[in-house]
Amino acid sequence: MEQEGEEEINDSGMEEEEDGADVVQFHPAFTYPIYGEHERVFGYKGLRINLNYAAGSLATYFEVEYAKRIDQMESSSAIPLKPDNVDEPMRAVLSTEAMCQTREEFAQCVARDTREFRPAGRKVHEYEEQSKEQQSGEGIRYEIYESAFEDAEFRKYHQRMQTMVLFFIEGAQFIDSGDERWRVYTLFERLDLGGTVSYSLVGFCTMYRFYHWPDQWRARISQFLILPPFQGHGHGSALYRHIYSAVLADPEYADLTVEDPSEAFDDMRDRNDMRYLLDHGAFDAIGSAPVDSKTVLELQHRFKLSKRQMTRCLEMGLLRKIGASGAALTQSDEFKRYSLFVKRRIYAQNTDLLQDLDDDEKKKKVAESFAAVVDDYRRILSLL
């Protein structure tokens, strides 16, 4: 008997317990860091792995339930069958500092959490989600906190929080909390109901500071996560916009980069970067393609974006200026210049892959890439 770890593990962010329970359940996207690349657990029938978190403090209660275990059942096999150890792999990645041993103890933690938990760090921004507040009639706000690992209270909190990256960010690893160059932004929902203020973790971002010659830092977003119950409400954009604004406003930072972004993050970043660039007239003084490298570099420095991201946004901005679509677009001189400008960039970035092809095949591959790029740019622009 085998159970799919991914299908049977529940993560619960819990605000109340038992009577009048307010429990949100969701499943992890990945379990291979805990239970192996096949994400399977052998030897159980009706297996359920429940990982319960208090919504604010992330006090944790881990429990395993099953109907039958293979070593407790009759078997015709001459070799004794042993079930996989479910408990140890999970506990190896959980913080023991806020681990509850019984469900009753956890319920007490959740009740206390609702009344007493307050986020660690320095509050740097807050905002409202109007539609949700109007629907609920409750006082709901969202608050962003900035923290460093020199803060002992936050360091403990991060130990509880970091397990989330294994479940929801592919290939993620724990970061070194002993490195003072890390900055962590946490986003919380603040609920004010009848004079009682309670907090729920919405998401977080870890950012590393690299030295940038001669006297600045390069900020790199490493891990960026909005928890599943809060996805689709603009919280990722709100968190990213604050981080980008903070980097722009701080002369110690040269630019903002991202480590191995997912497609979903790239989409979110593209939308927000383009809105900011358009709102601040980044392309107003630029006529049409081609755009010289000096202008691109000036835009990079002004808006503190990497060369890749600035080039991508510039190409979207130029396409937006052209405006038309269909045959009228592709036959225009302006679009032909744009096409040549983007194709040269595509060729330069893929020289190693194209060098062994004949000229006709090279042109075909570059044209295919260009068509895909333009389709993607149009999709992003349609969302602005």
Is residue 27 annotated as involved in ligand binding? no
Is 319 one of the annotated binding-site residues?
A: no
216 is in an annotated binding site: no
The C-alpha atoms of residue 345 and residue 360 are separated, in whole angstroms, by 18
326 exposure class (CB count in 10 Å sphere: 0-12, 13-18, 19+): exposed
> Is 344 part of any known ligand binding site?
no
- The answer to whether 3 is a known ligand-binding residue is no
User: Annotation-wise, does 271 bind a ligand?
Assistant: yes
Is the Cα dihedral 351, 357, 358, 359 positive or negative? negative
- Closest-CA residue to 236 (of 211, 272, 210, 207): 272
Residues belonging to the active site? 259
Name beta bridge partners: 142. 127, 189
Residue 280 marked ligand-binding: no
Q: Is 70 annotated as a binding residue?
A: no
Q: Is 226 annotated as a binding residue?
A: yes
- Establish whether 117 is an annotated binding residue: no
Question: Does the annotation place 194 within a ligand binding site?
Answer: no
Q: Which residues are annotated as a binding site?
A: 224-226, 231-237, 271
Q: Known binding site for acetyl-CoA: residues?
A: 224-226, 231-237, 271
